[in-house]
Amino acid sequence: MKITEFLEPTAIIDDLTGSTAPEVLIEMCRPLTATTGVDSQRLAEALLAREQLASTGVGDGLAIPHGKVPGLPGLVGAFGRSRAGIDFKAPDSKPAALFFTLFAPDDGRGLHLHALARVSRVFKRAAFRESLLKAKDAAEIYELMQAEDVE
């Protein structure tokens, strides 16, 4: 499963302006409204519901907020980078700077499990995280993702 299969260049925000977790989550949902036709409010609610269960901050400055949205045509993701870092209740208590947001249809096919596994695995590499933090704009971030998919 390739990341660029569910991440469009338009859904990459290289400089998140939000300063709290909910603000950031809502910010990343906005570009997805156009591609999915789903109201960004509904998308954000799915994320917040999942965060209430347990934080998706996984440590090393990364968070993978995700949620299931009934009626979604397929997997869809967004990526955001916060230069200041946001407190995301990660197990290592470090603020999160990289956010990979993921939505899956609620059809029981478990697509999100595969996507989550893929995203977790890719972001495990410190060098990849480093390069994303250093990338100058959204286009470069997308290129980095593409390069990772090829490997």
- Does the protein bind another protein through residue 126 (CB under 8 A)? no
Residues 64/58, Cβ–Cβ less than 8 Å: yes
Q: Active site residue: 66, 81, 112, 118, which one?
A: 66
**Alpha carbon distance 37, 104 (integer Å):** 14
Cα angle: 57, vertex 65, 137; to 5 degrees: 90
- Does the protein bind another protein through residue 116 (CB under 8 A)? yes
Q: Which residue from 142, 150, 151, 121 is spatially nearest to 9, judged by alpha carbons?
A: 142
Out of 89, 110, 125, 133, point to the residue binding another protein (CB under 8 A). Answer: 110
Tokens of 70: 């009934």
Out of 16, 21, 38, 64, point to the residue binding another protein (CB under 8 A). Answer: 64
Catalytic residue ranges:
66
Give contact residues for another protein (rule: CB under 8 A). 50, 53-54, 56, 58, 64, 66, 91, 108-110, 112-114, 116-117, 120-121
